[in-house]
Structure 1
Amino acid sequence: MNEIQIPVTVSGPGSQPAEEDGADLEILQLPDEMSTFSMPTLQDVEDVSKLQDGMAVLKQLDEILKQQAKARQVTPEYIDINHLDAADKQLIDQVLGEGEVSMLYESSDTTARIQESVMAGLWRVRYYNDADEVTADTVEVAYVPRLSQRHVFKQAAHRVEHQRDSIPDGVINAPPLLAEINDKVAEFRPGKDNHIINLTLLPQTEADIEFLTRVLGKGPLTILSRGYGNCRITSTAVQNVWWVQYFNSQDKNILNTIEIGAIPAVAAAAHEDVQDSAERLSEILEAYL
């Protein structure tokens, strides 16, 4: 009986001949972790009952969340907790936990660190002086904290300015993008969808990226979102222009974009998130009331 030859096709890394230019095939690794909600570990009921000021703040947050969840849109509200002692603040921190989004705001006159709660739409906002001492301590209910909306671009330019004769050698595709950015900055109005320029899909050289980074400048706000992989958002020195970069779990840049518009959606809570957070906080507090 004659043998039947069955062709076998092998694919995958290492199975293909080398490229003529010596480049290797790179297989991007997908993020292998995703943040999920878990109930916080709290103190005993007897211990919590002694922290009346901390519990009062949590009850106030509970009422605010319930009201906001019923509304068509969240109206930002905040509670000042600067006057609370360390034990009461610790209780609040334990209940709120640390969520996916953190922010650092650094300008000439303001430094603030912002942490989203595990219950989206709740934010811990702390302001610091030059000695790194807390000067204000608040909890906010909002899609995004007030500081990240009202003050980020207060000193930003209204357009990208550059001289044609100052464009370095090797910069090829960046100049047309600056014209596009200026047009979209001028067109943007609150409530309008963000305009996204996907640099990963465009033929950008290293010189192009360096040039864009220099002329756009750096603003005061840096955001890290760790929902699925990492997303790093940086405000620029131009009105309503953001760098948005996505990284996989090996910290390899897999998507590089510029957004013109409101704070990128990946950093903001949705209304459904606020409704869900209202239910979660009520469930947590039921154990202590």
Structure 2
Amino acid sequence: MMSFPIPVVAWKPDIGPGSQPLEDEILNTLDVQSDVYTFRPPLTELNAPPEVVAAAMDFLRLLLASLRATPFSVSQPLRFSLLPLEPAVRDEINELLGVGEVSVQTGGDLRAQETAFTGIWRIRGDGVDDVEAGAFPSALRNLALARAFPSAAPVEPPLDLMNAPALYHEIRTLSAQWTAGRAAHVINLSLLPATPDDLAWLDEQLGRISFSILSRGFGNCRITATALPYVWWVQYFNNMEKLILNSVEIIDVPAVALAAVEDYEETTIRLAEWIESLESAL
């Protein structure tokens, strides 16, 4: 066995444990997010008329049976239109499903809100009032994938920039070559040397469209679609609204906004328990 000599150092009063004063000591920690989303059953009083509650419960049972019978699929989610139902029944379904951690907004009237049951979404818009079970609302995913690559040539960057021109060239090239279904390419700008001017110019060149996702699964994650196909800003903020992670992702839809197969399985169990709890309260 190789010997590993430990040098003997003479004791000095100004080094080592106990050598420094502890009074008014300030512990500096990372500005990470401490709030983590955990499942909470929706709050409901079941105050609607009995026939409205009964119709809403029938839909929940139909949804549960469909979840049990249908494997998780990204490309072929379960979808139910609530338009044939009375508005009061739709409102009761909304209350019984609750509100979850992910919301999606667009420049038009099409929008989505994940329910308290991960992977079950409420999608609304002009002539649309759906409940969908899947990784991400398919209509909104298709809208995000419909972005066209800009025909204009890239502009010449200012001479005083540091890394932004190279980053933009990399991102633009990947966007032009990208195809749906590929694994994400992530550029963590928080770990790269970049000046405020770099980031401002990069933001300006990438552009932003009216398509944003807010995920509260772990803290506050804001996802914004850029004008380039498949390119997204993914930014995490702490409780003080301070940016703690700034990245660009090239992907269909960033993974932080998606429900996974494990979520689908867990939601099936929780929805069954929730229906049983509601039935016992009626």
Output the TM-score relative to the length of structure 2: 0.83
Q: CA offset at residue 52 of structure 1?
A: 3.7
**Is the Cα–Cα contact under 8 Å of residues 13 and 27 in structure 1 kept in the other structure?**
no
Q: CA offset at residue 34 of structure 1?
A: 2.0
Q: CA offset at residue 159 of structure 1?
A: 7.8
Match of 1:132 in 2: none
Match of 1:40 in 2: 42
Q: CA offset at residue 64 of structure 1?
A: 2.0
Q: CA offset at residue 211 of structure 1?
A: 1.0
5+ residue gaps, structure 2: 1-11
Match of 1:123 in 2: 121
Q: CA offset at residue 44 of structure 1?
A: 4.4
What amino acid maps onto 1:227 in structure 2? G
**Is the Cα–Cα contact under 8 Å of residues 198 and 257 in structure 1 kept in the other structure?**
yes
What amino acid maps onto 1:256 in structure 2? N
Match of 1:22 in 2: none
Cα distance 1:247–1:151, how it changes in 2: closer, same or farther (>3 A)?
same
What amino acid maps onto 1:117 in structure 2? T
> Does residue 260 in structure 1 map to residue 250 in structure 2?
yes
Match of 2:100 in 1: 99
Q: CA offset at residue 11 of structure 1?
A: 7.8
Alpha-carbon displacement from aligned partner over 1:30-63 (angstroms, at most 9, x marks no partner): 3232221122233449955543432332222112
What is the distance in 2 between the residues matched to 1:182 and 1:13?
50
Match of 2:172 in 1: 182
Cα distance 1:247–1:50, how it changes in 2: closer, same or farther (>3 A)?
closer
Match of 2:91 in 1: 90
Matched residue count? 264
Cα distance 1:189–1:205, how it changes in 2: closer, same or farther (>3 A)?
same
SS at match of 1:55: helix
> Does residue 145 in structure 1 map to residue 146 in structure 2?
no
Alpha-carbon displacement from aligned partner over 1:234-261 (angstroms, at most 9, x marks no partner): 0111010000001111111011000011
5+ residue gaps, structure 1: 16-24, 129-134
SS at match of 2:169: helix
Q: CA offset at residue 28 of structure 1?
A: 3.6
Cα distance 1:95–1:50, how it changes in 2: closer, same or farther (>3 A)?
closer
Match of 2:203 in 1: 213
SS at match of 1:66: helix
Match of 1:20 in 2: none
SS at match of 1:239: coil
What is the distance in 2 between the residues matched to 1:10 and 1:226?
41
**Is the Cα–Cα contact under 8 Å of residues 159 and 182 in structure 1 kept in the other structure?**
no
What amino acid maps onto 1:138 in structure 2? D
Identity %: 35
What is the distance in 2 between the residues matched to 1:40 and 1:197?
37
Match of 2:270 in 1: 280
What is the distance in 2 between the residues matched to 1:65 and 1:82?
21
Q: CA offset at residue 139 of structure 1?
A: 0.9
**Is the Cα–Cα contact under 8 Å of residues 160 and 216 in structure 1 kept in the other structure?**
no
Output the TM-score relative to the length of structure 1: 0.81
**Is the Cα–Cα contact under 8 Å of residues 221 and 234 in structure 1 kept in the other structure?**
yes
**Is the Cα–Cα contact under 8 Å of residues 219 and 237 in structure 1 kept in the other structure?**
yes
Match of 2:112 in 1: 114
**Is the Cα–Cα contact under 8 Å of residues 72 and 264 in structure 2 kept in the other structure?**
no
Alpha-carbon displacement from aligned partner over 1:113-149 (angstroms, at most 9, x marks no partner): 2110111110011115xxxxxx421111110001231
SS at match of 1:181: helix
